[in-house]
Structure 1
């Protein structure tokens, strides 16, 4: 039940989140990094960030680290896989990476079977 509440809250928060271009105009590099991390995306390269504006890389990196740690919680990896979200490998190198990947795979397998893939 707790996992369902967290997933629902995250989806609601993303619906209200500002776009990357708006955040870059505001100079909210920390928030851009956090959004990338909490979505399980790989970290943007410096050149990709600079295409958005005069990026403050240290702020982006700090936000990304907060977000990726939140995303890579192995206790919720099954739900992420079950929702059909593809795993990019963003958790590799973190202490719970193997457990995360295994739980995500279990959820992804169940998702694939339910979806007829």
Structure 2
């Protein structure tokens, strides 16, 4: 189940439009969601503005939704096992410590 869920997250993240196209369409929510679901750190307004006329509020909302999906402790082991670095984006959440512990377990196995 854990493996299936992480595979689905990766596939869904890969099936979306490019951020350049999303910015041109004004879909800042989706850009934020993609960053969050991939576990990237949140972008600043300045960084978003390089893509176009940024809407920080929409980006932030999408980012939070993506982070909540990414920070599932039930898939954290698989994220680490796949060799994906963890940027600390879950630390502020209630399940953040469990996520980090599971990710570290997968990261150790990846590096062995």
- Compute the TM-score of the two structures, normalised by the length of structure 2: 0.95
Query: Do residues 25 (structure 1) and 28 (structure 2) align?
Result: no
The structure with more radius of gyration: 1
Which residue matches 1:10? 9
Alpha-carbon distance, 1:25 to partner:
0.3
How many pairs were matched up?
A: 112
* Distance in 2 separating the partners of 1:25 and 1:32: 11
Which residue number in structure 2 is paired with residue 47 of structure 1?
A: 46
- Residues 1-42 of structure 1, C-alpha deviation per residue, up to 9 Å, x if partnerless? x11221222222233221111110010000000000000000
Bigger share in helix: 1
Distance 1:15 1:72 in 2: 18
What's 1:85 paired with?
84
Please tell me whether the aligned partners of residues 3 and 75 of structure 2 are also in contact (alpha carbons under 8 angstroms).
no
1:37 is paired with a residue whose SS is helix
Is the contact made by 2:76 and 2:103 (CA closer than 8 Å) also made in structure 1? yes
Aligned to 2:66: 67
Give 4+ residue runs of structure 1 displaced > 6 Å after superposition.
none
Per the normalisation by structure 1, the TM-score is 0.91
Structure 2 residue matching 1:52: 3-state secondary structure: coil
Structure 2 unaligned segments of length 5 or more: list them. none
- Structure 1's unaligned 5+ residue stretches are none
C-alpha displacement of 1:62? 0.4
RMSD: 0.9
